[in-house]
Amino acid sequence: MTFRCFGNNDELYAYYHDNIWGKPVYDDKTLFEYLILEGAQAGLSWITILKRQKEYQKAFDNFDFYKISEYDENKISELMNNKGIIRNKRKIISTIKNAKCFIKIINEYGSFSNYLWRFVNNKPIINNYKRIEDIPVYDDLALKISKDLRKRGFSFVGPTIIYSYLQAVGVINDHLQQCEFKY
């Protein structure tokens, strides 16, 4: 029997846990995608977002942040009518705003990956928690990155969202000690 940190055997969630969560990501498009998906999750369960990920990819031009940065009121209206995504206007507008901010960071650092990974000297943090209850909802690193992103104009990037994001893109590996996917 496979041990998963969170014990969820939903096929989609299991795939995410086993193949994505906690594995380092350096590709800017993927980093942007998970930043937006984590923000979309605010107030919802992660499985709700995972089940809509493909719809998000279609609705948001496969997370092409350059295209998204050019979205106008017509596109916002189209997205508000898309039943495949979370139709929250603040989150949709945030995605557009965050795309613009994301591009500014790329222009400053050469890539968003360079910006993000510099916070950990390009080396993932591998925590060794034994119980799910021990995993924090955020830490000092998430707080630091959250503050920096907000200072740069991002929204839906509070410390709890950023901690989840850092876990998703492998900056932080919080697979439990007994998890077979711990590395």
123-176 pLDDT per residue, tens: 999 999 999 999 999 999 999 999 999 999 999 999 999 999 999 999 999 999
- Is 16 an active-site residue? yes
Using alpha carbons, select from 71, 75, 21, 68 the residue that is nearest to residue 46.
21
**38 catalytic residue (yes or no):** yes
Choose, from 16, 21, 163, 165, the residue flagged as catalytic.
16
Q: Report helix, strand or coil for 134.
A: helix
Q: Which fold has domain 11-173?
A: Endonuclease III; domain 1 (1.10.340)
Active-site residue, from 46, 109, 129, 138: 46
pLDDT in tens, 84-114: 999 999 999 999 999 999 999 999 999 999 9
The amino acid occupying position 6 is F
Please state the domain extents for the chain.
Answer: 11-173
Catalytic residue from among 13, 21, 33, 38: 38
Q: For Cα atoms 136, 141, 147, give the angle at the middle one, nearest 5 degrees.
A: 110
Nearest to 17 by CA among 6, 28, 31, 30: 6
